[in-house]
Amino acid sequence: MRRVVVSGMGAITPIGKTLEEFWEGLRNGRCGVGPITRFDASALPCRVAAEVKNFDASDYIDKREVQRTALFSQFAMIAADEAWTHAGLRGNTAIDPDKVCILLGNGIGGLEVDTESQRKLVEKGPSKIPAMTIPRMLCNEAPGNVSMRLGLRGSAHAVVTACASGTDALGFSLDLIRSGRSDVVLTGGCEGTINVYGIGGFCSLKALSTAFNDTPEKASRPFDVRRDGFVMGEGAGVLVFEEYEHAKARNATIYAEIAGFGSTADAYHLTAPDPEGNGAMRAIRLALKDAGLEPEMIDYVNAHGTSTPTNDPVETKGIKAAFGEHAYKLKVSSTKGMTGHCLGAAGAIEALACVLAVHENFIPPTINLEEPDPECDLDYVPNRGIALPVRAAVSTSLGFGGHNSVVVVKKCTG
């Protein structure tokens, strides 16, 4: 089987606008949650979010291009630029652009574009709907814009499976390279839905935290008994997947190997997970089987860990069912305490955390874990990260619609 490695990474997140800043934020337990500044949220029960701080798209992208792109797509282009450069591929004439593919996960698309266009429709009539409304809204705008920006002409696809989108994009990219259809794939996820429509919609579902509006840095608290909902995040994570021999031939830096992928459906409920965690358990087992690894070979799990009352104990059940007694020897953390829940970008951003954990031998913490829920009884690395050898890591993503996706990352040897 063709092996797949990570040779480059890029990130724009609530705790850092570059890969280096993101990793430094994770290592130090930096919280990216604060009061919402994008719009007046005073009428909403949730008034906090994890925004990308001090963001001006024109710092990265030509102003005319900014006008033609939605926020989620801008995040994707910025992270892809960094990943491409980080991998040493910018200006590399040995790379055939016809054979580089792009797969990016996204949950919702250009929601702010839809919101503004709907407002103009209601206030001024259909003739005033902006001309670029539809192209800017579509989820495939992100891979399309990355393709045009970097001049990459292989296949370009959007993957849309709610909060599992980013992880599914990674898994499908793994298959692209294993099958020989591509040697290099730019993959990951992006999201930008911190607006009145997005926050208001999740408030209507009663999914967001409402108890910590006055102390936003405490709002996202995975596995803690006082958690009361997730906190919306945003951003993008992009990885360069490369066939192992291809990367070696060009003397690329290899950060980790992508060893396995598993995906299942709960067939249970539109928004709630299977209460026994069976879907998550099966996805983990499939990913481990695909990687050829026994449960005892995994040192770290980056959990989906949304900080909702339902997710965290259910996911804990799934991890325990998949790993058996070894579950109590694992280090498990949710980085969403720092980044919030970045929806379609979450799996990619958390896969970055796993790659860096394996490469740097450091496990990021679960911040705000002050009083563990008795139903959540694993080692969640509370509040401070740990320097520890990490042979292999698992990243889990669970999405609305019952999507469960898992990727396995390990040290690259031989």
353 Cβ contact partners less than 8 Å away, ≥ 6 residues apart: 26, 302, 335, 364, 395
pLDDT, averaged across the chain: 97
Q: What pLDDT is attached to residue 109?
A: 95
Nearest to 86 by CA among 171, 188, 157: 188
Give mean pLDDT, residues 289-310.
98
* Positions marked catalytic: 163, 304, 341
Write the CATH number for 339: 3.40.47.10
Cβ 99 vs Cβ 184: under 8 Å? yes
Residue 408 lies in a domain: no
Residue 127 lies in a domain: yes
Domain range for 289: 1-403
For a pLDDT cut of 90, what percent of the chain falls above it? Answer: 98
**pLDDT digits 0-9 by tens, 258-274:** 999 999 999 999 988 89
Residue 188 lies in a domain: yes
Q: What pLDDT is attached to residue 94?
A: 82
Residue 412 lies in a domain: no
Give mean pLDDT, residues 183-192.
98
Helices (H), 250-392: 278-291, 311-323, 336-339, 346-360
Residue 120 lies in a domain: yes
Residue 411 lies in a domain: no
- Report the domain count for the chain: 1
188 Cβ contact partners less than 8 Å away, ≥ 6 residues apart: 10, 76, 79, 80, 83, 104, 105, 166, 169, 170, 236, 237, 238, 239, 345, 348, 351
Indicate the pLDDT class of residue 294, thresholds 50, 70 and 90: very high
- Residue 414: is its pLDDT beyond 80? no
Q: What pLDDT is attached to residue 1?
A: 84
Cβ 195 vs Cβ 115: under 8 Å? yes
Residue 124 lies in a domain: yes
Residue 195 lies in a domain: yes
Written as six digits, the tokens of 43 are 């009428």
| pTM attached to this predicted model | 0.97
Give mean pLDDT, residues 74-97.
95
- Residue 223: is its pLDDT beyond 80? yes
For a pLDDT cut of 70, what percent of the chain falls above it? Answer: 100
Give mean pLDDT, residues 118-146.
95
d(CA 383, CA 362): 14
**pLDDT digits 0-9 by tens, 35-66:** 999 999 999 999 999 999 999 999 999 999 99
